Amino acid sequence: MNALISGIPSVYFLALAGILFSIGLVGVLIRRNAVIIFMSVELILNAVNLVFVTFSKTLLNVSGEVIVFFVMAIAACEAAIGLALVIAIFRQNKSSNVDELQSLKW
């Protein structure tokens, strides 16, 4: 694919999105602090948004940007619920370390 966006090959944007996605994935896997895992998930969502915008611009179809807007709204929902959960778990267990959460273990 050699489509140019503002004079830049769209492959560059996709490569950047891939790198950011990988960094977010590594963060989810190696970190144990729940808030940092949450931030890594945000990185993953941003990488996906970048892919959406890249293809939206490559194919000249505005729908991709609309979907990025929806992804952002859902990320806001996720932030509200997820961080409320982190706070609730921290109150219960005095820790936000995901390794120490065992209440669903049987």
Partner 1 sequence: MAKDFFMIAPDHPSFYLFLLFGTVAVITALNVIFQKNPVVSAVSLVFTFFSLAGIYAIMGAFFIATMQVLVYAGAIMVLVVFVIMLLSQRAETLSKFWDNPLKVLALSVFGMLFFFTLFSALQWGVPKQNPETKGYTVSELQTQYQYPINGGTSVTAEGNVAAVGAATYLDYVLPFELLSILLLVAVVGAVILAKRRLTTESTKDSTL
Residues that bind partner 1 (CB under 8 A): 1-2, 4-9, 11-13, 16, 19-20, 23-24, 26-27, 30-31, 33, 35-36, 38-40, 42-43, 46, 49-50, 53-54, 56-57, 59-63, 65-66, 68-70, 72-81, 83-88, 90-91, 96
Residue 19 has which token pair? Answer: 């790198």
CA 56 to chain centre: 19
CB of 59 to partner 1, least distance (A): 5
Q: Which amino acid is at 28?
A: V
CB of 102 to partner 1, least distance (A): 19
Nearer to partner 1, 7 or 104 (CB): 7
Q: Which residue has the tokens 């144990």?
A: 32
CB of 101 to partner 1, least distance (A): 14
Residues linked to residue 58 through DSSP beta bridges, in sequence order: none
CB of 53 to partner 1, least distance (A): 5
Nearest-angstrom CA–CA distance, 53 and 36: 26
Residue 32 has which token pair? Answer: 């144990």
Closest CA to 86 of 41, 21, 20, 24: 41
Nearer to partner 1, 91 or 106 (CB): 91
